[in-house]
Structure 1
């Protein structure tokens, strides 16, 4: 089963530049001109539509430029590795850019970095199981409830 996540990101980079950065820094393979792959994960990046931008502006008070799409194969033996790649990719992009929010199925908040403050959603089940967050997150953060503006 595929699990869909998206990182809405405020950035000066174009989608292809985002993918190049991820490929170079995380050792991901190009599947075609606009998609990367790794263990149990597929990654794409696109510009944000006007309606998508408005939705994020209303809910999170920042304007995203790029949406990074992650699809994880939850049936794969490498699912935990794919989840780790998604977290590393998200953190790498948030270190380089301004604001962003990682969403599951377009509405449940996994984590957000707004105005420089990284917050992990304490209410989002066991998404950090198997991840050594202290090794992954290299800048200040907190873990607390992040209710979705759409639920």
Structure 2
């Protein structure tokens, strides 16, 4: 059973443009409307109005695009997780709006609200630290309680 992560982006880009950025920046292969890499599958769609209103109320911004990551815990798990973090950070460098990465649609992995990137201390994993060091992206660690729970 794959692990589900979702990046809620505030952007003017279309879902297709978001995936095109990732296909150009990372070693991912197109399969119909999704991208595939070692241990990960990535899709994207326009965020529905109900979720936009929920995020506006709970987190103070309206995500326009959802990027879904399905990470296979039984095949190339660590590489899939690293690809997901690289994908997210590549998008954050291209897109200046707010963003939140959620695990199972409710637990915050990281958030960038008002240009401040914060990783959830409770979701900290060694591969996150390694990837963030490699990407040279400034961030903070702190406990983040999800208002979506």
> 2:122 matched to which residue of 1?
123
Normalised to the residue count of structure 2, the TM-score between the two structures is: 0.94
> 1:89 matched to which residue of 2?
87
Bigger fraction of residues in helix: 2
Distance 1:143 1:26 in 2: 26
Distance 1:19 1:122 in 2: 28
> 2:110 matched to which residue of 1?
111
> 1:12 matched to which residue of 2?
12
Distance 2:79 2:64 in 1: 27
Normalised to the residue count of structure 1, the TM-score between the two structures is: 0.93
**Runs (4+) of structure 1 moved beyond 4 Å?**
none
> 1:69 matched to which residue of 2?
68
From 119, 125, 145, the equivalent of 2:143 is: 145
Residues 53-81 of structure 1 deviation map (CA, whole Å, 9 limit, x = unaligned): 011111111111100000000011x1100
Cα RMSD for the two superposed structures: 1.1
List runs of 5+ in structure 2 lacking aligned partners. none
Residue 150 of structure 1 and its aligned partner are, at CA, apart by 2.2
Residue 95 of structure 1 and its aligned partner are, at CA, apart by 1.5
